[in-house]
Structure 1
Amino acid sequence: MKDFIDAYSWINMRYLLQGLWITVVVSLASIAGSYVIGTILGIIRYVNIKILSPIVGFIIDVIRNLPLLLIIFFTYFGLPNLGLRPSSVWATIVAMIVFESSMIAEIVRSGIVAVPSGQMEGARANGLSYSQTMYHIILPQAMKKMIPALVSQFISLIKDTSLATIIVLPDLMHNAQIVYGENTSYILPMFLMLAIMYFVVCYALSLVSRSLERRMS
């Protein structure tokens, strides 16, 4: 019990909260960037633009089949060879956006495909242009179908930020490792606190998704 009390001292908890803040910031930036880019790529794949759509599809398939850790390595160690030197925070955000965009693109494409084709035909027959139909008719319906899959992907993204400890991202996992590295008797208390903090963040996201589903239903 003494180990738990000592492990949860204010100094250690403040250090963990600093790491949690980095985890949340990196996750939110990655979610926003990957959602925008993934949506655009998903629409491009669905629309089937000559030459462009096959190229985008090939790139997405390649990225989806690469380990996220490899992409993190490339952004942090490979980009300096191209004249770019991102910090560990920016390297993680870029890697997450690249990887998650490919995943979200497939979710978006699948969501659009799930909307009955008659919706497009009916809207076009009523005088709406293709882009108007996509924006006002198809995407709102597809979005409702996509929410569970998107939330699951975003929750995975939050947990995957822990992989960036390999490039010394000062996130929640990294800071916990620093704490129990100084005193191995803190390992169990730190793992327990990690589980609680990750659960709180991920569960909060799931609550937001449920609220969105209710509003869109």
Structure 2
Amino acid sequence: MFTGIVAEQGSVVSLSPNTDGDGAVLVVTAPAAGAALEPGGSIAVNGVCLTATRIEDGTISMDVMGETLARTTTGDLQAGQNVNLERCVPAAGRLDGHVVQGHVDGVVTLLERESLGSWDRLRFAVPARLARYIAEKGSIAVDGVSLTVTAVSPADAGEHWFEVGLIPTTLAETGLGALEPGGRVNLEVDVLAKYAERLLAFTRSPQ
């Protein structure tokens, strides 16, 4: 489990497709996270939970399945690109963000951003299948960053969107500070909303 509090920004060394054409090996620099990580440990890369397979000279290698490449922005990563990194939270650690699983629900696009002095407003397009789980003042993970939703589109909107505000720390210490309109990011909605919907579906169905 993660909290959406980015520990550091790493840099992509390489993303090499496997010889069988299914999946790839991702290598990133992670001086801080790599020092405390062992092979088999979990790390979130732009909000995607991956397993470290090799740690060497400040870099972490991870196997990425074809399913992950297809459903997240991981397959778009290029050498030299910065990525948000977070180690899994220890059982006795603080939950400074919110409950984040590292299981991406979809990829969304930045529609617009506006600088409002010391902070920025970002609006993302979101498909209807995910918009139902997003509520104003609720929590959401964007590229692995725990954020509070500041505004949402009406439930009957033809095209759905949500907005978040980025404080100076988030702008400076995560990749969202450099994200431009048209950029794609990984989105994980609040897992509690998904469980609530599932429970209600069983409550309403005949037994």
TM over 0.5: no
Structure with greater proportional strand content: 2
Structure with greater proportional helix content: 1
Structure with more contact order per residue of length (Cα contacts < 8 Å, sep ≥ 6): 1
TM-score (norm 2): 0.24
Look at both structures and tell me which one has the larger radius of gyration over its CA atoms. 1
